[in-house]
Structure formats: structure tokens, C-alpha cells
């Protein structure tokens, strides 16, 4: 109030704040050696950068949304546990900044209200609400509560992405492409995970090779087909992403790469967009695969050996115990058909029905294991009601994607959605962030298209 009546004092307040910040930084640098040893200056520098980035997110929420997608390949590096999670901290900061922006901007508030008239938004809310209600009947309510927080987070991420404008959406996916491309060389610099050290399956910072490879595949499809104006750049960056997929030795990702364009050809509006670019994609993939095998024998030999197992569909090695897990999931569904066993409670129920889950839990010394199929996972944990809501959400997304596939980014997102669903046939991805980013992107294009009419 004093500053409002004294213009000179109002001008001095920012200078005083800057001076105080400079004094604090100077003191931190001066005493960093005594407080943190030789790495004191580095820690101070990282703290300053982190504070500056947090301030940028508070000022502009879009920075946080774009950063969340760009950092997806590095989640295992910035997450240190259930609570000490860099991703969760950034998400909470972004949601807080978005909430403030909604209070300040009538235009953004109107866009937010418009989102709630979209059937896809309501379907996603219904699915998240059903997951939250499963706490009431879950075998382990505390476990379900943790998973409910995850569902709430990805639903919030979907809404935040949907509130971007078209330019912000393109920028977000551009950052995603660059972030995933950079993760391939950085994967050899960042700390190596167990599977990379023991069996040579590439992934940056200890990420799960299958999840990382399928993330690369989804971003690849959106970037390759969605950025028509930057086709030359897409062709130059594609071999890097393809190498990353092959180096993980993920058979799921290989199937996704091959099958996604084929499924897209059965969608009339999307098929017209694919055309010769799909053939070029297969040629590029074959060339990248041949290059890995011929130029990098160590990687190529392991790759050929692992991919060769796909030819023997009756071998247990091909399925890595998934048949036992899927049969266990079906038995859990039969025992709890309507409501399921509660979000996040699959391992607690399946241990009595699956030898693989029992063996994995015994090895870990705790209840552990997932369904390795997001539809079986949803049905076993949230019942047939939850499966119906989840399927309804995906069907609405597919319908929306088909309508938006006339434009380049819409076609890329449609293929990204197909890749997400195909990935879910082998991985437990019903709460994976990239899937809800795709849903939010479709909503963003839908609302932006109506706003331009």
C-alpha cells in the first residue's frame, strides 16, 4: 500500500529485491565449500538454475507443460523415489501456475470451460473418478490411494496440454522430439540401469527399456507424420530415434513400429495422409536396422537373437512369462468381475493365480508384478465397469483423431494414439503420461479448430 502512494519507493523495491538476492547468492557461493565440500559451487549453480526455472514456470505455466514432455525420457534420472520425484514437483508447480493463470485470464477460463463440453474430457474424468472410488473396496486401500494420485496427475496433465494454443502444442511436440533424440547419445553418459549393465539393453538413466522404446516410437510417429513443414529435419532425426528403439532390443516396440502404419491404412481419412510416406518409413526403418546389424556387430548380434524369438510364438521365451501373468489376470477378473481388486492392487490378488507373479514377488521380497496388458490390468483392478469406461475413453479419442487426421499434426497424433494402444497390449500403460499427452493434444486441436471458425 505504501508503494502505491510513493512512485519512487515502488521503483526501488525491485532493486532492493535484486540486491538482497545478490547478497544471498554471494553468501551461498562464499560458504559453499565449507557447507558442501568440493561440489559446493556445482550444487549452488544447480540450485540457482532450479530456482530460476521454477520462477519461469510460475510466471508462465506453458513452460512447465512443455518441460514435462521434454523430460519424459529422463524420468528415471530426476525421480529418486515415490516422494522425491522431480517429475511430480514440476507437475505440481505447473498445475499451481495454471490455476493462477485461470484466475487471471478470462480467455483461458473460457477455453477451460469449453473443454468440459467435450465427451473425451468427461470420459477421462469418469475413468479417473472410478479409479478414485476403488479405494473403498481395494484389497490394500493405501496402495490404491497412491495409484489414484497417479491417475489424477495424468488427468491434470491431459487438461494442461489441452489448454495450450496451437503454437504451444507444436512447440511442445518439437521439444519432445528433440528431447528423445538427445536421450539416445545421453543414454551412454547417464548412469546405466540393471538391464543395460547385465544384458546390454540400452536405456538412459536406468529407464525400463520397453517403456523407453515405446515412448520413442510414439514421439517418432507424431514427429515424422505431424510436422509436414519440417520433413527434411524429420528424415535426418529419424535414424537416431530408430537406433534408440533397436538398441533397447524391445520386441514390443518393434511390433509397434511395424504395425502402427498398417493399422492406420485401415482408417480412410488417415490412409490418404499416409500414402508414400509409410513406404518411405519402412524403407528408412529397414536401412536403420541393417546399419545397426552391419556397423555395430555387438548390438546387432544381440538384436537379431532377441528379435528371432518372435518367429516362435509357442516358446515361453518369446512371451517372457506373460501367458502365466495373463492367465492370472483373467482369474482375478473372474473372482472380482464387477469392481476389481482396486487400483494398484494387481500383485496382491494375482500372487495366488500366477506362478510368475509369485516367483517375482518372492525374488523381490515383496508383492510385485504387473499385468503386462493395460486392458487386463484395468479389468482386474477396476472391474468390467472400469474397463468399459477406459474403452469408452479410447473410442472417443479414436473418433476425434480420425476427424482431425486431415491435417498433418492430427495425422501424427492419430498414429501416436494407435501406437499407444498397441503398446498397451504388452505393457501396463493405462496411467502412462505419454498416452494422456496424446489425448490432451487431440483435445487441444479440437478446441483450437472450433475457436478459429
Contact 396, 120 (CB under 8 A): yes
Contact 205, 74 (CB under 8 A): yes
Report how far apart the first and last C-alpha atoms of the chain are (Å, whole number).
Answer: 45
Calculate mean pLDDT across residues 14-26.
Answer: 49
Compute the 3-state secondary structure of the chain and give helix, strand, coil in percent, each to the nearest 5.
80, 0, 20
For position 3, what pLDDT does the model report? Answer: 41
**3-state SS class at 218:** helix
Contact 78, 71 (CB under 8 A): yes
Name which residue leads in pLDDT, 115 or 233. Answer: 115
d(CA 19, CA 13): 10
**Residue ranges of domains in the chain:** 16-59, 117-451
d(CA 386, CA 206): 32
CA atoms within 13 A on the CB side of 96: 12
The answer, yes or no, to whether residue 305 has pLDDT greater than 90, is: no
Calculate mean pLDDT across residues 186-191.
Answer: 87
For position 228, what pLDDT does the model report? Answer: 80
What is the tens place of the pLDDT at every residue in 129-171? Answer: 999 999 999 999 999 998 999 999 999 999 999 999 999 999 9
What is the tens place of the pLDDT at every residue in 246-290? Answer: 999 999 999 999 999 999 999 888 888 887 888 899 999 999 999
In sequence order, what are the residues at sequence separation of 6 or more whose Cβ sits closer than 8 angstroms to the Cβ of residue 249?
200, 201, 202, 209, 302, 303, 306, 307
53-62, 119-128, 392-401: the lowest-pLDDT one: 53-62
What is the tens place of the pLDDT at every residue in 387-421? Answer: 999 999 999 999 999 999 989 999 999 999 999 99
In sequence order, what are the residues at sequence separation of 6 or more whose Cβ sits closer than 8 angstroms to the Cβ of residue 284?
235, 238, 239, 242
DSSP letters for 79-133 = B-SSSSBHHHHHHHHHHHHHHHHHHH-HHHHHHHHHHTTSHHHHHHHHHHHHHHH
Q: How confident is the model at residue 232 (pLDDT cuts 50, 70, 90)?
A: confident
| 194 CB neighbour count, 10 Å cutoff | 10
Q: How large a percentage of the chain has pLDDT more than 90?
A: 57
| pTM for the full predicted model | 0.88
Amino acid at each position: 500500500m505504501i508503494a502505491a502512494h510513493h512512485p519512487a519507493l515502488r521503483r526501488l523495491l525491485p532493486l532492493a529485491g535484486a540486491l538482497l538476492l545478490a547478497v544471498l547468492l554471494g553468501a551461498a557461493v562464499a560458504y559453499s565449500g565449507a557447507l558442501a565440500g568440493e561440489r559446493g559451487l556445482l550444487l549452488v549453480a544447480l540450485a540457482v538454475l532450479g530456482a530460476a526455472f521454477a520462477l519461469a514456470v510460475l510466471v508462465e505455466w506453458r513452460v512447465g507443460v512443455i518441460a514435462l514432455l521434454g523430460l519424459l525420457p529422463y524420468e528415471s534420472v530426476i525421480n529418486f523415489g515415490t516422494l522425491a520425484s522431480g517429475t511430480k514437483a514440476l507437475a505440481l508447480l505447473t498445475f499451481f501456475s495454471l490455476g493462477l493463470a485461470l484466475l487471471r485470464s478470462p480467455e483461458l477460463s473460457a477455453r477451460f470451460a469449453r473443454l468440459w463440453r467435450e465427451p473425451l474430457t468427461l470420459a477421462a474424468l469418469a475413468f479417473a473418478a472410478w479409479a478414485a472410488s476403488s479405494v473403498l473396496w481395494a484389497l490394500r486401500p493405501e496402495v490404491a490411494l497412491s495409484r489414484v494420485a497417479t491417475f489424477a496427475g495424468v488427468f491434470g496433465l491431459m487438461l494442461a496440454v489441452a489448454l495450450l494454443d496451437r503454437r504451444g502444442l507444436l512447440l511442445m511436440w518439437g521439444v519432445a522430439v528433440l528431447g528423445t533424440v538427445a536421450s539416445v547419445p545421453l543414454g551412454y553418459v547417464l548412469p546405466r540401469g540393471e538391464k543395460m549393465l547385465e544384458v546390454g539393453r540400452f536405456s538412459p538413466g536406468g529407464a525400463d527399456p520397453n517403456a523407453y522404446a515405446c515412448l520413442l516410437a510414439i514421439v517418432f510417429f507424431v514427429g515424422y507424420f505431424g510436422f509436414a513443414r519440417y520433413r527434411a529435419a524429420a528424415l535426418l532425426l529419424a535414424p537416431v530415434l530408430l537406433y534408440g528403439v533397436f538398441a533397447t532390443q524391445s520386441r514390443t516396440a518393434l511390433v509397434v513400429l511395424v504395425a502402427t502404419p498398417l493399422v492406420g491404412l485401415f482408417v480412410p481419412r488417415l490412409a490418404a495422409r499416409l500414402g508414400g510416406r509409410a513406404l518411405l518409413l519402412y524403407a528408412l526403418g529397414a536401412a536403420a536396422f541393417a546399419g545397426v546389424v552391419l556397423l555395430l556387430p555387438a548390438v546387432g548380434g544381440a538384436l537379431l537373437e532377441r528379435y528371432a524369438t518372435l518367429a516362435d510364438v509357442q516358446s515361453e521365451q518369446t512371451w517372457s512369462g506373460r501367458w502365466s501373468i495373463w492367465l492370472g489376470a483373467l482369474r482375478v477378473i473372474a473372482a472380482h468381475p464387477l469392481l476389481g481388486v482396486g487400483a494398484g492392487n494387481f500383485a496382491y490378488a494375482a500372487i495366488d493365480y500366477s506362478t510368475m507373479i509369485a516367483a517375482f514377488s518372492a525374488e523381490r521380497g515383496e508383492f510385485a508384478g504387473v499385468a503386462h496388458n493395460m486392458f487386463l490390468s484395468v479389468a482386474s483392478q477396476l472391474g468390467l465397469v472400469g474397463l468399459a469406461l477406459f474403452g469408452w475413453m479410447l473410442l472417443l479419442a479414436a473418433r476425434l483423431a480420425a476427424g482431425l487426421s486431415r491435417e498433418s499434426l492430427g495425422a501424427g497424433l492419430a498414429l501416436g494414439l494407435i501406437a499407444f494402444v498397441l503398446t498397451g497390449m504388452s505393457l501396463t500403460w493405462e496411467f502412462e503420461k505419454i498416452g494422456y499427452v496424446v489425448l490432451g493434444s487431440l483435445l487441444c486441436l479440437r478446441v483450437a479448430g472450433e475457436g478459429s471458425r
